[in-house]
Amino acid sequence: MDNAPTPSEPLSTLQPGQRGKVTAIVLPGASRGRIMEMGLTIGATIEVVRFAPLGDPMELKVRGFHLSLRKADAAGIQVARL
């Protein structure tokens, strides 16, 4: 059985329809707190729904609700693809 850690990547690299599990949040204090208040905590499952017409922000589905997040913030959230 392979016990290698699952590789993480920035949430901003996922495409619509792809899902991931949050493994780390690497953002400055205020941004980190705001992100966590929205339900994006370590272990949460996220699905990318779509991108705005100009590519930013991105719409995510987290814990049964939809939220929009700037790609700059999404780049600081590490996820393991599901």
Integer Cα distance of 28 and 19 in angstroms:
24
The mean pLDDT of 54-66, rounded to a whole number, is: 93
pLDDT tens digit string along 2-37? 565 668 999 999 999 999 999 999 998 888 999 899
The residues near 62 (Cβ < 8 Å, ≥ 6 apart) are 38, 39, 40, 44, 45, 46, 47
Domain ranges of the chain: 9-81
- What is the dihedral sign for C-alpha 42, 15, 17, 74? positive
Given a cut of 90, whether residue 60 has pLDDT beyond it is yes
- pLDDT for position 11: 95
Integer Cα distance of 17 and 79 in angstroms:
14
Confirm if 75 and 25 have CB atoms less than 8 A apart: no
- Assigned CATH topology for domain 9-81: SH3 type barrels. (2.30.30)
Confidence of residue 82 (pLDDT cuts 50, 70, 90): very high
Whole-structure pTM value: 0.86
